[in-house]
Chain A
Amino acid sequence: MGLKDILKSSTFYEILQGMSVTGSYFVGEKVTVEYPKEQIPPFERFRGVQCLISNPETGELNCDACHICATICPSNCIFIESSEGPDGAKQLDSFVIDLTRCIFCGFCEEACPRAAIAMTSAFEFSTYNKNDLILTKDWLVENQKNLHKELRKR
Chain B
Amino acid sequence: MAGHESHPPAPPKPRATPEEMRERKRLSRQRVSDDSEFITVSMGPQHPSTHGVYQAVVDLDGEIVVNARPSIGNLHRGVEKLAEVKSYHRFLPLTDRLDYISSFAMNHAYAEAVEKLMDIEVPRRARYIRTIGDELCRLSNHLLWLGVHVMDFGAQTFFLICFRDREYVLDLWEMLCGARLTHSYARIGGVAADLPDGWVEKCRAAMEFMPRRLAEYQRLVEKNRIFLKRTVGIGIFTREDCVAWRVTGPSLRATGMERDLRKTEPYAAYDEVDFDVAVEYDADVYSRYLVRMKEMYESCRIILQCLDQLPEGDYINQDAPSQTFPRKKQVMRDSAAMVQDFMQTFRGPKVPKGEVYKAIEVPKGEMGVYIVSDGTSIPQRLHLVTPTFYHCQATPALFEGEMISDVVGIFGSVDIVLGDSDR
Contacts and interface: CB of A to CB of B under 8 A. Distances in A.
Q: Report if A and B touch in the complex (beta carbons < 8 A).
A: yes
Interface of A: 9, 14-15, 17-18, 21-22, 25, 31, 42-47, 66, 68, 71-74, 103-107, 110-111, 113-115, 119, 152-154
A22 B174 CA distance: 29
B21 to A, nearest CB: 37
Name A's interface SS.
Answer: loop
Given A72-B89, A105-B182, A113-B338, A45 B224 contact: no
Contact of B331 (A18, A44, A113, A153): A113
Given A44-B175, A72-B90, A106 B184 contact: yes
A60 to B, nearest CB: 17
B341 A68 contact: yes
B325 A111 contact: yes
Interface in B336-361: 338, 341-342, 345-346
Q: Give the 6 A-B CB pairs with smallest separation, nearest first.
A: A47-B178, A45-B178, A105-B93, A14-B223, A74-B90, A18-B220
A106 B346 CA distance: 18
A103 B93 contact: yes
Given A15-B225, A72-B89, A115-B332, 5 more contacts: A21-B220, A107-B93, A111-B345, A152-B329, A154-B327
A87 B182 CA distance: 43
Given A72-B89, A74-B93, A107-B93, A45 B174 contact: yes
B177 A45 contact: yes
Contacts of B221: 18
B157 interface: yes
Interface of B is mostly: helix
B407 interface: no
A44 B177 CA distance: 9
Contact of B332 (A21, A73, A113): A113
A45 B224 CA distance: 42
B92 to A, nearest CB: 8
A152 to B, nearest CB: 7
Interface of B: 86, 89-94, 96, 157, 161, 164, 167, 171, 174-179, 182, 184, 192-194, 196, 216, 219-221, 223-226, 325, 327-329, 331-332, 338, 341-342, 345-346
A119 B194 CA distance: 18
Contacts of A104: 179, 182
A119 B179 CA distance: 11
Contacts of A114: 332
Contacts, number: 100
A102 to B, nearest CB: 11
Contacts of B196: 44-45
A107 B186 CA distance: 12
Contacts of A152: 328-329, 332
Nearest to B327: A154
A32 to B, nearest CB: 10
A15 to B, nearest CB: 7
A144 to B, nearest CB: 18
Nearest to B223: A14
Contacts of A110: 192, 325, 328
Contacts of A71: 345-346
A119 B178 CA distance: 10
A74 B88 CA distance: 10
Contacts of B328: 110, 115, 152, 154
Nearest to A12: B225
B157 A154 contact: no
20 contacts: A14-B224, A15-B225, A21-B220, A31-B164, A45-B178, A45-B196, A46-B178, A46-B179, A68-B346, A72-B89, A74-B90, A74-B94, A104-B179, A105-B96, A106-B178, A107-B89, A107-B90, A111-B345, A115-B332, A152-B329
A93 B341 CA distance: 23
B345 A68 contact: yes
Nearest to B163: A31
Most buried by B among A47, A73, A74, A119: A74
